Amino acid sequence: MAIAVRNLVKQYGREKAVNDISFDVRTGEILGFLGPNGAGKTTTMKIVTCYMPQSSGTVEVDGLDTRTSSHEVRRKIGYLPELNPLYLDMNVLEYLEYCARLHGLRSDRLRQRQREMIDVCGLGDVRHKDIGELSKGYRQRVGLAQAMIHDPEVLILDEPTSGLDPNQIVEIRNLIRRLGSAKTVILSTHILSEVQATCDRVIIIHEGSIVANGTPDELQKSFQGSETLSVEIKAPVANVMTDLFPKIQSLQNVETVDFRGSEGSAHRFLLHTAKGSDIREELFRKSVSEGWILLELSRKATSLEEVFHKLTRSETVQPS
């Protein structure tokens, strides 16, 4: 296990920023760490990186306790905080050399890692430029390069795509995916589509406590209510509401049917079915027997965004 967190608490006076949380991160896993502002995400990440101590509980990185083996743990971790720690008057190569020397790299090994980070992070065209002249996207790349310059086993990235444009987000996301094949990654973000595209597993934290832990698919399924199907049927009927509607409504496990309008002989419906049911095959067979033509049949699943909203509202919400 790359990271093991047990009964972690961080307390400021009477306020608990992190309230007795426990979780594991497996070697080679990309973990998405989600939560609203003030939920405790950054505090947890700072404790894992030895930036601050916990009030109680334990954190182990590759079997090393962050309290008793802080220096050894730091050698194993690459950290990109939300506020990128850049020196704007240095050029890219100078900055990466500086960071490498801080981690104890020297001579040939330093030059090798410097070249590798320039290549991996796509910094070749700007390697001689001052960091202050770079775009936000390139600055994030430089931040990732400094986090990886010492070839750590674990990467902890706090809002790595914050403030980037859509193209830059895709570039950084693809880079993180590539890194995840060789590193253990904890990724904190507010962009839920990024989590679905990047992360193997998701932890949602709210008011200092973990409220969900699982793959994006598992979380979506656990909060899935009634199934919703969008259907468009081509059928030359005299009256939709008397000829077509009742036959769809009579299908097993169909709870409600909403008529969404017609265009010529094409009629649109929204079907709500019982939780856990799948009527697509039955609807297809019904269409064949009635001589209907299915123009559209699509299923709408509960989105990760909906799960996030349900879990981080002020009231406690349990999966249905």
| pLDDT tens-place string over residues 116-170 | 999 988 899 999 999 999 998 899 999 999 999 999 999 999 988 877 778 878 8
Digit-coded pLDDT (tens) for 18-49? 999 999 999 889 999 998 888 999 999 999 99
Is 134 within 8 Å of 142 (Cβ atoms)? yes
Q: Are residues 124 and 190 in the same domain?
A: yes
Q: What is the CATH number of the domain that holds 279?
A: 3.30.70.1340
Q: What pTM was estimated for this model as a whole?
A: 0.75
Residues 122 and 29 in one domain: yes
Please check whether residues 205 and 263 belong to one and the same domain: no
Domain-ending residue, one of 157, 182, 215: 215
Q: Is residue 84 part of a domain?
A: yes
d(CA 211, CA 49): 23
Q: Does 157 lie in the same domain as 43? A: yes
Can you tell me which residue has the tokens 């309230």?
Answer: 19
- Whether 317 has a pLDDT exceeding 60, the answer reads no
Looking at the 3D structure of the chain, how many domains does it have? 2
In a domain, 66, yes or no: yes
Domain identity same for 68 and 197: yes
